[in-house]
Amino acid sequence: MNHDITIRIATEADAQELLDIYAPYVTDTAITFEYEIPTIADFKGRIKRTLTKYPYLVAVLDDKIVGYTYASAFKGRAAYDWAVEVTVYVRPDSKAKGIGKKLYNALEETLKRQHIINLNACIAYPNPGSIGFHEQMGYKIVGHFTKCGYKFETWYDMVWMEKMIGEHPVPPRKFIPITQLANNCE
């Protein structure tokens, strides 16, 4: 057995394994504000849409996907091209093994190559595990919204955390879609 974690670009063929990781977050937590588990077709579509512009990476350990991360548009306007929202999910039985950190580090390296500068994470609050993880990765809370998400008969706050991974030159370097990068996840 290979006990090294490898990071690679996700494919639509990974949708079932990724959905298996995501489903308990939907059904058992307020980490995601989705109420229903997406269909395989929907998840394949999410992967495909993300990979038109941004990285969608998976962590593989012993031939099994144990986590994934991706970036998405922070906002849809052109002036936001250098800012993204980042997301990471790790298989519940694989937490606290450095997988999330390895995924985020690989994601950041790819985003730097795309000339992304601002990373933003939207986190349900309270969520000390995710907030602590992001703080360890260099993120800071920059916004706190009160009782804006309702799930499991409870109102949840939401915080935005942000990390800068580069300088803000004037003018900024042109954003490069993931499809135009050679060796996408390295």
* Per-residue pLDDT tens over the stretch 58-82: 999 999 999 999 999 999 899 999 9
Q: Which residues contact 79 (CB under 8 A, 6 or more apart)?
A: none
* Per-residue pLDDT tens over the stretch 123-144: 999 999 999 999 999 999 999 9
Q: Quote the number of domains for the chain.
A: 1
The verdict on residue 1 lying in a domain is: no
Task: Kindly report the pTM of this predicted structure.
Answer: 0.93
Give the CATH number, domain containing residue 30: 3.40.630.30
The verdict on residue 85 lying in a domain is: yes
Distance, CA of 65 to CA of 116 (rounded, Å): 26
Distance, CA of 186 to CA of 180 (rounded, Å): 13
Least confident range of 2-11, 110-119, 144-153? 2-11
Would you give the distance in Å from CA 123 to the centre of its chain? 11
Pairing label, strands 83-90, 118-125: parallel
The verdict on residue 18 lying in a domain is: yes
Burial (Cβ within 10 Å: 0-12, 13-18, ≥19) of residue 105: middle
Residue 95 has pLDDT above 50, yes or no: yes
Q: What is the extent of the structural domain holding 39?
A: 6-177
| Cα dihedral value 100, 149, 35, 95, nearest 10 | 20
Least confident range of 38-47, 82-91, 96-105? 96-105
The verdict on residue 128 lying in a domain is: yes
2 token code pair: 């290979």
Q: How confident is the model at residue 93 (pLDDT cuts 50, 70, 90)?
A: confident
Sequence letter at residue 140: K
Distance, CA of 28 to CA of 56 (rounded, Å): 24
